[in-house]
Amino acid sequence: MNQRKTLTTAFLLSCSTLVTPVLAADHQHHNDHHATGAVHIHNAWSRPTPPGAPMGVGYLTITNNGAEEVSLVAVESPRASHVSIHETSMHEGMMRMQPLDGGLAIPAGSTVELKPRSYHLMLEQLTKPLMEGEMIPVRLDFDGAEDITIQLVVQSLDGMDHSHHMGHSTMDH
């Protein structure tokens, strides 16, 4: 009995060791969905930047399936010295953006989109330009949920209409 239990445990351990890298590779390939607990991330993307440009953007969709509000409070990327969470608003007919100092709240059961002309991530002081086709790792720190590391797919697309199906056709563009 004891021996059997030990064997089962050993099997489970080796199983999880094997499974983890496969899942990671699968996720990198599709990159259209990442879930940790109640929080789900979809359509994470960015735009290419010209040489010498100090800043890049990040867009993604955050869904909170939990019973409690969560907040995106901090973001980090190895490709930028600092990542801010910005909101874009109209002020006297001009579009302008400003940091969300208190974080971005995602109420229970709701979805918040970071997209052009709305909320977005600002990757400041890029270590090098963002090139089309690259995957940019970004860690999202939540208040009320586990941190999630995602990859922004760099795509040269304009307009808001494209962002809807982006995650599903990553490699076509």
- Residues interacting with Cu ion, by CB under 5 A? 86, 97, 122
Spatial distance between the Cα atoms of 122 and 75, rounded to a whole number of angstroms = 10
Nearest distance, CB of residue 56 and Cu ion, angstroms: 10
Nearest distance, CB of residue 98 and Cu ion, angstroms: 8
Of 42 and 120, the one with the shorter C-beta distance to Cu ion is 120
Of 112 and 122, the one with the shorter C-beta distance to Cu ion is 122
Nearest distance, CB of residue 48 and Cu ion, angstroms: 16
Look at strands 33-36 and 104-106 and give their pairing.
unpaired
Of 39 and 83, the one with the shorter C-beta distance to Cu ion is 83
Of 66 and 116, the one with the shorter C-beta distance to Cu ion is 116
In sequence order, which residues have a C-beta less than 8 Å from that of residue 79 and are 6 or more positions away? 56, 123, 126, 127, 128, 130, 136, 137
Of 117 and 164, the one with the shorter C-beta distance to Cu ion is 117
In sequence order, which residues have a C-beta less than 8 Å from that of residue 134 and are 6 or more positions away? 153, 154
Spatial distance between the Cα atoms of 138 and 78, rounded to a whole number of angstroms = 8
Nearest distance, CB of residue 91 and Cu ion, angstroms: 14
What's the N-to-C CA distance of the chain in angstroms? 56
The CA-atom distances, in angstroms, between 32 and each of 2, 50, 149 are 44, 25, 13
Nearest distance, CB of residue 28 and Cu ion, angstroms: 27
84 and 124 Cβ atoms separated by less than 8 Å: yes
Please identify the residue of the shown chain whose CB is closest to the bound Cu ion: 86
3-class DSSP state of 86: strand
